[in-house]
A and B are shown apart, each in its own frame.
Chain A
Amino acid sequence: MPPEISDETLAFILARAGLEPTEAQKAELKKVYPHFAQMVERVRRPRGIMAEPAHTYGFAERDLR
């Protein structure tokens, strides 16, 4: 993930989410974006295709009643 974000990309993502921040808020977001990108990189690692997420599930006994 690139450590910076362009104005256009940021505007696109926020608009897709239906949010309407002020220009000052967009500037703030852009400023902190490198910290956010660093956070996202921390959960990425080479783990292969078989590593499952935490929210896959099994049926409990009560589901079968």
Chain B
Amino acid sequence: MSEIPTIAEAARLFAARRLSPVELTRACLDRIERLDGRLHAFVHPTPERALADARAAEAAIMKGEALGPLHGVPIGLKDIVDTRGIPTTCQSKILQDNIPEADAACAERLAAAGTVLMGKTTTHEFADGGPSFDLPQPPARNPWNPEHFTAGSSSGTGAAVAAGMILGGIGTDTGGSIRGPAALCGIAGLKPTYGLVSRAGVAPAAWSLDHIGPMAWTAEDCAIMLEALAGHDPRDPASAERPVPDYTAQLGRGIKGVRIGVIRHFHEADHPVGAAARRGIEEGAATLRELGAEIRDVKLSPLQDWVACGQLISLTERAAAYEEWARTRLHDFSARVQNRLMLGALVSGVDYVQASRRRRELRAELQGAMQGLDAILTAAAPNEAPKIEAVPIWDTFQPPNFTMPFNLVGYPAISVCSGFGELGLPVAVQFVGHPFDEPRLLAIADACEKASGHRARRPELAL
């Protein structure tokens, strides 16, 4: 098969007996075999497990015992997600021999939904920094042009979804690690509300900023995956006790009357974006208006304030989480992670608490700004992906990213493709919703995505 279906399409094709899970899995394995020598999207493919999962799914579906739309769907798990009996190295020299005894909560839930595990996808070391060339395995590369960066840290999942090696996968997001790779790889990536998806069994980057979420070709596929992933888990102290709604229920019902704010100063003044990214935002706003949404401008504190606050919290929590290894094995980390661990040591206790006080103020500010709005539209990334060698080693001090603000406040945010730039690489926009309002957020992203037509284009090397 040459076409790469979305998760929603695959479920329909399975139900109609026009495609089988084994056939789809073999096609994805063929793509991994053909492309991964160049893309490095996987650190540990699991072809035998994949075929076993696919055969089991196929047998169940043939017996009329389909578990739902993810049954038989090939997926990948970022290599900081614990997987029972399968190496989970966090792309670090320190955990090269780590084979967990239990699955992380998100791995459990996707397995229970009948997914086919294709393997562990490439990550920046412990979901931090990157790209690094001093790790046990090379960094992932962008399927739209392998000379270019994927962003990170869920770099392998982003590359693998874009290249059709998997239909969906797990990413984690502490400052943009789902939405960044989704943006640069031209896919959809959802950072759900803080506490909606359990973090149990996933290596931390910064506890109070960490989110687990789906990455897939479309917003609709993210909704399908979120349905399986969401729900209370007592093993995660931040896990929310709330009923899980139907995340696909509002898709396709139209967005007439939806009120959307655009934070123009983020991408026009605070961190001016490239022409293609700006065009994507303008066209996205115009599309939403045509679909009946009301658009108005929103003003917040400068992007630099949000990102400085998030960075200080992130650096400090990471330095605390990895303190023992930093003290005993500092030089076993990549150069980039060593830099960040040392920066974390420079943050005083008072600095950390001042950042936390600023965090409360910024959260109140966003709450106020979103009164009377259903969602916010902003940039997801400043431009097309840079060349992989061009990413500066001290990326902490680069112009601020557009994703960290929503880790800081825990609001759900999704990145979707908004077009292509001069180099033929994708650009993206980001939508932000109210806490636990993923059904509406996904409906807005889905409507924009379907109206734009950008989902018809795949990286050439995947075809």
Contacts and interface: CB of A to CB of B under 8 A. Distances in A.
Interface in B289-333: 304-305, 308-309, 311-312, 319, 323, 326-327, 330
B308 A53 contact: no
Which residue of A14, A55, A60 has the most chain B CB atoms within 10 A of its CB atom? A55
B339 A19 contact: no
Query: Which secondary structure dominates chain B's binding surface?
Result: helix
A44 B208 contact: no
B349 to A, nearest CB: 11
Contacts of A13: 345-346
Which residue of A14, A43, A45, A55 has the most chain B CB atoms within 10 A of its CB atom? A43
A40 B345 CA distance: 13
B339 A51 contact: no
Contacts of B341: 19
Contacts of B23: none
A42 B304 contact: yes
Contacts of A42: 304-305, 308-309, 358
Nearest to A16: B345
Contacts of A58: none
B99 interface: no
Contact of A21 (B305, B330, B353): B330
A36 B343 contact: yes
Contacts of B347: 40
A43 B241 contact: no
B237 to A, nearest CB: 11
A62 B308 contact: no
Contacts of A25: 338-339, 342
Interface in B357-393: 357-361, 363
Nearest to A10: B346
Interface residues of B, number: 35
B176 to A, nearest CB: 17
Which residue of B346, B360, B361, B363 has the most chain A CB atoms within 10 A of its CB atom? B346
B351 A40 contact: yes
Given A18-B323, A19-B330, A39 B342 contact: no
Given A39-B312, A43-B351, A53-B357, A14 B326 contact: no
A10 B133 CA distance: 28
B363 A54 contact: yes
Interface string A31-46: 0110110111011110
A32 B356 contact: no
A14 B345 contact: yes
Contacts of B425: none
A44 B309 CA distance: 10
Given A19-B342, A42-B305, A53 B356 contact: yes
Nearest to B394: A32
A20 interface: yes
Nearest to A53: B356
Nearest to A37: B346
A3 to B, nearest CB: 13
A55 B312 contact: no
Given A51-B361, A53-B357, A54-B359, A21 B342 contact: yes
A45 B358 CA distance: 9
Contacts of A20: 330
Contact of B354 (A32, A38, A43, A60): A43
Given A39-B308, A54-B356, 18 more contacts: A13-B345, A13-B346, A16-B345, A19-B342, A28-B339, A29-B342, A36-B343, A36-B346, A39-B311, A40-B351, A42-B305, A43-B305, A43-B355, A43-B358, A44-B354, A45-B358, A54-B360, A62-B241
14 contacts: A17-B319, A17-B326, A19-B342, A20-B330, A21-B330, A29-B342, A36-B346, A39-B312, A42-B358, A43-B308, A45-B358, A47-B357, A51-B357, A54-B208
Interface of A: 13-14, 16-21, 25, 28-29, 32-33, 35-36, 38-40, 42-45, 47, 51-55, 60, 62
